[in-house]
Amino acid sequence: GFSQVGAESDWRVANTKSMKSALTAKNGFKLSFADAQQKQENQLTAIRNFIQQEVDYILLAPVTETGWDTVLQEAKDADIPVIIVDRMVDVSDDSLYTAWVGSNFKLEGQKACEWLNQYAAAKNMSEVNIVDIQGTIGASAQIGRTEALNEAVEANGWNLLAQQTGEFTQAKGQEVMESMLKQYDNINVVYCENDNEAFGAIDAIEAAGKTVGSDIANGEIMVMSFDTTNAGLTDTLAGKIACDVECNPLHGPRVQEIIEKLEAGEEVDKQAYVDEEMFAADDTVTSIKVDDADYEVTTITQDIIDGRAY
């Protein structure tokens, strides 16, 4: 049984597609899928239903990190292994889940912020007046990306004007951007914690008669984002997103492999991070360093977009 957050973003749709494409009857699976519409109580109900159905495995993509101890203990008491997908659970005892597969969200944020730090230096930006359209509060992706920004704001002397959740959706992202534009007339960077919020922010900026782009000196507003969905990279190619940091949603094959190993009585990694890239609209910054590791920044092209799996 797979309890999925919902369909709030292009990323989530790609994640669900990847899971359903791997966990097929042809591959030996019978998948019960539950969409929670971003509500934890729906996930708790779905997990209890899976326990009643005596499924062999429970897959959980948790909407937020806390509140899982009781239901995961019920799954453990029913001898049903739980695999956590994407966001993490914050539980008192990590024997309550067998494995987790997902991204290093803090590193994603650090990569985005270091790109901005290098970009601002290259363009001699006198000040960075930044707003943060956060993801769903309490989701691992929001926690990591926000934490990285807060640390970079301190380290680089940026002005963090506002921080508010856009719930990883385009509609909320647009609404939050509209209100931030009413409050501040000196915003020059918008840090969107996913592509769908960026789409909403871009619409709000353009509706306010301002220009989205990287020419800060001439009053353009630079939009940054995460996920590198097809639509996100298309906006990056158009120069509307200045930097998009990849968050790989293709967890289906990874979860399939974990289950096949468990079925074969083999050990599985408790946590497995996926490797991720980053893309920019131009080649002002072509590589960045985070904690002594180097990361390439790829200038986006249509060919790259056409060649990607999502």
Interface residues with ligand GYE (CB under 6 A) are: 8-9, 11-12, 86-87, 103, 139, 141, 168, 194, 226-227, 247
Closer residue to ligand GYE, CB minimum distance, 240 or 251: 251
Distance, in Å, from the CA atom of 236 to the CA atom of 25, rounded to the nearest integer, reads 38
Question: What does the buried/exposed string (b/e) look like for 228-266 if buried means 16 or more CB atoms within 10 Å of the residue's CB?
Answer: bbebbbebbbebbbbbbbbbbbbbbebbbebbeebeeee
User: How near is the Cβ of 15 to ligand GYE at its closest, in Å?
Assistant: 7
Residues contacting residue 18 through CB under 8 Å, at least 6 positions apart: 249, 250, 251, 252, 253, 310
User: How near is the Cβ of 288 to ligand GYE at its closest, in Å?
Assistant: 20
At residue 111, the 3 state secondary structure works out as helix
User: How near is the Cβ of 274 to ligand GYE at its closest, in Å?
Assistant: 11
User: How near is the Cβ of 223 to ligand GYE at its closest, in Å?
Assistant: 15
CB-based burial of residue 297 (10 Å sphere; 0-12 exposed, 13-18 middle, 19+ buried)?
buried
Pairing of β 243-246 and β 189-192: unpaired
Distance, in Å, from the CA atom of 94 to the CA atom of 244, rounded to the nearest integer, reads 32
Closer residue to ligand GYE, CB minimum distance, 114 or 197: 197
User: If you ran DSSP here, which 8-state letter would residue 251 be given?
Assistant: -
Distance, in Å, from the CA atom of 297 to the CA atom of 137, rounded to the nearest integer, reads 28
Closer residue to ligand GYE, CB minimum distance, 57 or 105: 105
User: How near is the Cβ of 5 to ligand GYE at its closest, in Å?
Assistant: 7
Closer residue to ligand GYE, CB minimum distance, 9 or 43: 9
User: How near is the Cβ of 167 to ligand GYE at its closest, in Å?
Assistant: 8
Closer residue to ligand GYE, CB minimum distance, 6 or 213: 6
Residues contacting residue 259 through CB under 8 Å, at least 6 positions apart: 29, 57, 83
User: How near is the Cβ of 29 to ligand GYE at its closest, in Å?
Assistant: 23
Closer residue to ligand GYE, CB minimum distance, 12 or 106: 12
Distance, in Å, from the CA atom of 212 to the CA atom of 193, rounded to the nearest integer, reads 17
Helix (H) / strand (E) containing 215? none
Closer residue to ligand GYE, CB minimum distance, 141 or 233: 141
Closer residue to ligand GYE, CB minimum distance, 12 or 240: 12
Distance, in Å, from the CA atom of 170 to the CA atom of 109, rounded to the nearest integer, reads 20
**183 φ, ψ (degrees, to nearest 5):** -85, -35
User: How near is the Cβ of 140 to ligand GYE at its closest, in Å?
Assistant: 7
